[in-house]
């Protein structure tokens, strides 16, 4: 009865005193292990239809939790005066649920890393083509992982941070990894150049519009566009005065920066808004299909 | 059978892309070192950004979400430096949060350097909350209980003991959120942060295209777009920072791209004309 | 106040419910035998052409789900890749699926194995062809670019969420002469794909892909439901523009729809004659 009263007053196991929380958490983790170990043989003996029924049910319940937490009313102070009016009884469980998802993601990282190392070990051992690169990967992986772990332990003062560790980690992280990241990103500038040279051709009406708009925006957004419009051509930079005639308004708004801004806010933004609506609705429809197990793609 | 000799136009159309890369490289290096400075025309989003920060009063609290790493340093670093400089001028307090370890280290070191130059004290006037692995969960948590969600700052001090956030219970106690990021995290801030807190955005140029809708609807109050936006903002602050220095190279590389686009089209037309004549 | 629950923003809650209803009703209609039309999407028609080219050249096909974290977009991308794999299995064309997310990698392994089983060629499945490269953006980009260059892929399919690395993939594929089909919900990367790829699938065409390829009634019905919801959005926009033009932006009906807050705010607005 006390448990129910606590729940109704929005106290859940996440808010129990420290000692009870550790006990409950231990029981939950142990229970989860037992459940999984017991479930695997049961699932394997079930026929495919039975397995599917369990998967559909679990998927539905998992999705129902998040949907219910969003749609259930939050303000129950009329019935429970000491209640928090900004959440319902499911809200405190959202953060732990997200934490569980992150832990599953972390486990998957181990799986992915195992697959990568296994592949390259096999390449190296069997001397498959380009096995030298596999050796480089494996050595880099081991060295970087070792130094990173030692560095983290040193930050927590579990091991001593010697000058060798500090220097080695700095060389690998600051002077290698970070710089390689920046170098890969800067490749994009060169690739844009070759892609633009190849793609922006007057082949059709649409391609021409694309090309001219791109050129206008490219020159309008940089200081050179302002220099050309306001210094070289002498166009006024300030906005047109109130009640100005059409020609004056045109003169005040024909600068390259203003045209570029117009393209970005009056053409790009509405088109992007429309696409985002479609994507949002598509995502919602897909999520509903997954939740109700109507999607027969991957599953 | 002899291979047909390529005409000039055909050679231009099929130019080895490595020549293009070399030309661009020379262009960028030349204009990075050339002592040319062109003033920028202040765009409306940057002006709005500046005006919003100008409205801050001394002691107002600002949350900076800094999620960039070395790859977008050229665009995000000048933005963050200029933002911190402006906040210090307004004597605002600020806290920084990141969503990954590299961004945490980079933003912490940058903030330490910039604040030291201006005499801002860590813990008293600014702090770094380290990194949070899941931004959505962190924002939802900070809305209800900020000290309980963040717990410790980057130096290991309990957040509840930091003078800069003394008495702060929730994200609602902040006046402003500034998101400096190359990834699209601003919709998450817009969705989950309290509506009384103004949001400003500092994306890279590529990500800015999708933010104009939020600017238009008033969900973000101002925006600095990439290095160009940083240059405009530095101009408003009357400082010469990295944004101003980088824009030269960016300006003339845009010109180079346009020149080559025009050359490519010219070559295409001339090639077609030649082929028709030969027919 | 922040929008964390339906009660915080009644308008959004009603919209979500309407969209869900539109989708479910049309799924029911499709199941009951209604004939539903879907227009041609050239990029998807070219998938078979791309696979055929790879088979002729004897060079592999790459499938890249981008930096997609596991979720709706990843599931859609894997559905498309599963279809492509079934086509590939008929011709025994080599393939590589390169993932940046370990969860997507784990699910992709199962999906690709299933695809080969369903195509009747489980012998062709090699787990080493589904690879997790790195969860770091540019480490992944360099791994993919390197593989595309070394193996001189003939066809590259990029479906999912992409960021700055999209142009690296597309341009590298272009360098080796691969036929490239890209589909993404990342609006900012569309120009790069349009410039460097042969076919690009934009926005919600990405979500229509599974319906287009499989022609399953449930998926077609869902697509029709989405279109009805989009029509509602368009009508709301037009209605709002007309109302704002005639009555001004301070009109009660305009303010009502923009009224923040929960049900109390809504009822107060209606009974009190409009929003604040």
Per-residue CA distances from C140 to A197, B176, C166 (Å): 26, 35, 11
Chain A residues whose beta carbon lies within 8 Å of the beta carbon of residue C168: 184, 187-188, 191
Q: In chain B, whose CA is at the least distance from the CA of A207? A: B265
Among A218-222, B53-57, C16-20, name the most confident range: B53-57
The confidence band for A92, taking pLDDT boundaries of 50, 70 and 90, is confident
CA nearest to C2, candidates A74, A95, B165: A74
Cβ–Cβ gap A94/B140 under 8 Å: yes
The confidence band for B148, taking pLDDT boundaries of 50, 70 and 90, is confident
The confidence band for C61, taking pLDDT boundaries of 50, 70 and 90, is very high
Q: Mean pLDDT across the stretch A121-148?
A: 92
Cβ–Cβ gap A94/B137 under 8 Å: yes
Buried b / exposed e across B41-59, counting CB within 10 Å, b at 16+?
bbbebbebbbebbeebeee
Chain A residues whose beta carbon lies within 8 Å of the beta carbon of residue C79: 295, 297-298
Cβ–Cβ gap A75/C111 under 8 Å: no
**What whole-number distance in Å separates Cα of residue B105 and Cα of residue A173?**
11
Task: Return mean pLDDT, chain B.
Answer: 91
CA nearest to A60, candidates A268, A296, A288: A288
Question: Tell me, what's the ipTM?
Answer: 0.85
| pLDDT for the residue B2 | 46
Residue by residue, DSSP assigns A215-228 as: HHHHHHSSHHHHII
Which segment of A75-89, B136-150, C196-210 scores lowest on mean pLDDT? Answer: A75-89
The confidence band for A1, taking pLDDT boundaries of 50, 70 and 90, is very low
**What whole-number distance in Å separates Cα of residue B121 and Cα of residue B115?**
7
The confidence band for A152, taking pLDDT boundaries of 50, 70 and 90, is confident
| pLDDT for the residue B9 | 86
The residue that leads in pLDDT, B62 or A159, is: B62
Instruction: Decide if A294 touches C, using CB distance below 8 A.
Output: yes
**Residue B27: pLDDT above 90?**
yes
Judge contact between C185 and C158, C-beta under 8 A.
no
Instruction: Decide if A78 touches C, using CB distance below 8 A.
Output: no
**Residue B156: pLDDT above 90?**
no
Q: Could you count the other beta carbons within 10 Å of the beta carbon of residue A45? A: 9
Q: Mean pLDDT across the stretch C147-170?
A: 94
Share of chain A above pLDDT 70, in %: 92
Judge contact between B225 and B203, C-beta under 8 A.
yes
Q: Could you count the other beta carbons within 10 Å of the beta carbon of residue B77? A: 23
Q: Mean pLDDT across the stretch A28-42?
A: 83
Judge contact between A89 and A12, C-beta under 8 A.
yes
The confidence band for C274, taking pLDDT boundaries of 50, 70 and 90, is very low
| pLDDT for the residue A194 | 92
Q: Annotate C144-168 with three-state secondary structure.
A: HHHHHHHHCCCEEEEEEECCCCHHH
Task: Return mean pLDDT, chain A.
Answer: 84
Q: Mean pLDDT across the stretch A278-289?
A: 90
Q: Annotate chain C with three-state secondary structure.
A: CCCCCHHHEHHHHHHHHHHHHHHHHHHHHHHCCCCCCCCCCHHHHHHHHHHHHHHHHCCCEEEEEECCCCCHHHHHHHHHHHHHHHHHHHHCCCEEEEECCHHHHHHHHHHHHHHHHHCCCHHHCCHHHEEECCCCHHHHHHHHHHHHHHHCCCEEEEEEECCCCHHHHHHHHHHCCCEEEEEECCHHHHHHHHHHCCEEEECCHHHHHHHHHHCCHHHHHHHHHHHHHHHHHHHHHHHHHHHHHHHCCCCHHHHHHCCCECHHHHHHHHHCCCCC
CA nearest to A198, candidates B25, B21, B264, C49: B264
Q: Could you count the other beta carbons within 10 Å of the beta carbon of residue B177? A: 23
CA nearest to B176, candidates B34, B53, B67: B53
The residue that leads in pLDDT, B146 or A80, is: B146
| pLDDT for the residue C276 | 42
Which segment of A249-263, B260-274, C120-134, C260-274 scores lowest on mean pLDDT? Answer: C260-274
For residue B115, give how far its alpha carbon lies from the nearest alpha carbon of chain C (Å): 30
The confidence band for C261, taking pLDDT boundaries of 50, 70 and 90, is low
Q: Could you count the other beta carbons within 10 Å of the beta carbon of residue B123? A: 14
**Residue C167: pLDDT above 90?**
yes
In A, residues 35-94, which contact B (CB 8 Å cutoff)?
A: 86-87, 94
């Amino acid at each position: 009865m006390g448990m129910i009263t606590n729940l109704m007053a929005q106290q859940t196991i996440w808010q129990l005193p420290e000692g009870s929380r550790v006990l409950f958490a231990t029981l939950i983790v142990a229970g989860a292990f037992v459940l999984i170990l017991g479930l695997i043989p049961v699932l394997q003996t079930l026929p495919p239809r039975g397995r599917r029924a369990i998967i559909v049910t679990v998927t539905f319940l998992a999705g129902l939790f998040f949907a219910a937490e969003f749609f259930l009313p939050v303000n129950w102070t009329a019935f429970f005066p000491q209640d928090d009016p900004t959440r319902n009884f499911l809200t405190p469980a959202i953060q732990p649920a997200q934490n569980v998802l992150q832990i599953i993601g972390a486990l998957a990282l181990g799986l992915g890393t195992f697959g990568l190392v296994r592949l390259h070990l096999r390449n190296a051992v069997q001397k498959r083509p380009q096995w030298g690169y596999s050796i480089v990967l494996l050595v880099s992986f081991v060295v970087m992982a070792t130094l990173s772990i030692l560095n983290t332990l040193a930050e927590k003062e579990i091991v001593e941070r010697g000058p060798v560790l500090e220097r080695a980690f700095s060389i690998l992280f600051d002077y290698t990894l970070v710089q390689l990241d920046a170098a890969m990103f800067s490749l994009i500038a060169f690739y844009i150049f070759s892609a633009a040279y190849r793609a922006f051709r007057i082949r059709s009406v649409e391609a021409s519009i694309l090309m001219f708009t791109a050129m206008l925006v490219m020159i309008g957004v940089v200081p050179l566009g302002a220099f050309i419009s306001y210094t070289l051509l002498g166009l006024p930079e300030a906005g047109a005065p109130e009640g100005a005639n059409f020609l004056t308004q045109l003169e005040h708004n024909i600068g390259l920066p203003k045209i570029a801004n117009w393209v970005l806010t009056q053409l790009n933004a509405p088109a992007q808004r429309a696409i985002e609506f479609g994507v949002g609705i598509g995502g919602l429809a897909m999520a509903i299909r997954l939740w109700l197990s109507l999607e027969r793609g991957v599953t | 059978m002899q291979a047909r000799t390529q005409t000039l136009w055909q050679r231009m159309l099929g130019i080895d892309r490595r020549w293009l890369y070399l030309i661009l490289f020379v262009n960028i290096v030349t204009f990075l070192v050339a002592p040319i400075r062109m003033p920028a025309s202040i765009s409306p989003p940057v002006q709005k950004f500046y005006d919003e920060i100008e409205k801050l009063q001394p002691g107002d609290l600002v949350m900076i979400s800094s999620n960039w790493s070395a790859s977008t340093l050229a665009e995000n670093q000048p933005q963050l430096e200029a933002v911190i400089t402006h906040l210090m001028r307004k004597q605002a307090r600020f806290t920084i949060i990141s969503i990954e370890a590299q961004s945490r280290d980079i933003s912490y070191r940058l903030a330490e350097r910039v604040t030291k130059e201006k005499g801002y004290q860590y813990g008293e006037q600014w702090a770094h909350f380290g990194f949070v692995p899941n931004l959505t969960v962190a924002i939802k948590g900070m809305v209800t209980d900020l000290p309980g969600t963040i717990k410790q700052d980057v130096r290991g001090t309990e957040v509840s003991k930091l003078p800069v956030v003394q008495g702060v219970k929730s994200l609602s106690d902040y006046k402003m959120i500034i998101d400096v990021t190359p990834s699209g995290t601003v919709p998450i801030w817009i969705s989950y942060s309290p509506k009384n807190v103004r949001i400003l955005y500092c994306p890279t140029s590529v990500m800015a295209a999708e933010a104009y809708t939020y600017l238009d609807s008033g969900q973000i109050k101002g925006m600095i777009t990439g290095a160009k936006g940083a240059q405009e903002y530095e101009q408003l602050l009357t400082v010469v920072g990295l944004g101003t220095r980088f824009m030269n190279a960016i300006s003339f590389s845009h010109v180079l791209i346009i020149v080559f686009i025009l050359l490519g089209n010219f070559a295409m037309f001339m090639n077609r004309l030649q082929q028709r004549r030969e027919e | 106040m922040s929008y964390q629950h339906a009660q915080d923003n009644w308008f959004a809650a009603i919209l979500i419910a309407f969209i869900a209803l539109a989708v479910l009703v049309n799924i029911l209609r499709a199941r009951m035998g209604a004939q539903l039309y879907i227009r041609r999407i050239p990029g998807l028609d070219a998938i078979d052409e791309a696979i055929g080219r790879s088979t002729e050249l004897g060079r592999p096909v790459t499938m890249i789900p981008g930096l997609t974290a596991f979720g709706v977009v990843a599931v859609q991308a894997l559905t498309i890749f599963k279809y492509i794999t079934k086509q590939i299995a008929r011709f025994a064309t080599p393939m590589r699926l390169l993932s940046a997310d370990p969860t997507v990698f784990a699910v992709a392994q199962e999906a690709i194995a299933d695809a080969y089983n369903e195509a009747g060629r489980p012998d062709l499945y090699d787990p080493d062809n589904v690879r997790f490269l790195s969860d770091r953006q540019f480490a992944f980009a360099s791994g993919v670019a390197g593989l595309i260059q070394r193996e001189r892929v003939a066809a590259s399919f990029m479906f999912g969420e992409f960021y700055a690395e999209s142009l690296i993939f597309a341009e590298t594929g272009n360098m080796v002469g691969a036929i490239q089909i890209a589909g993404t919900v990342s609006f900012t990367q569309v120009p790069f794909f349009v410039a460097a790829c042969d076919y690009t699938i934009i926005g919600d065409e990405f979500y229509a892909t599974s319906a287009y390829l499989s022609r399953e009634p449930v998926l077609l019905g869902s697509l029709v439901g989405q279109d009805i919801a989009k029509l509602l959005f368009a009508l709301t926009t037009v209605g709002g523009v007309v109302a704002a033009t005639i009555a001004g932006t301070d009109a009660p009906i305009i303010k009502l729809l923009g009224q923040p807050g929960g049900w109390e705010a809504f009822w107060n607005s209606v009974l009190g004659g409009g929003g604040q």
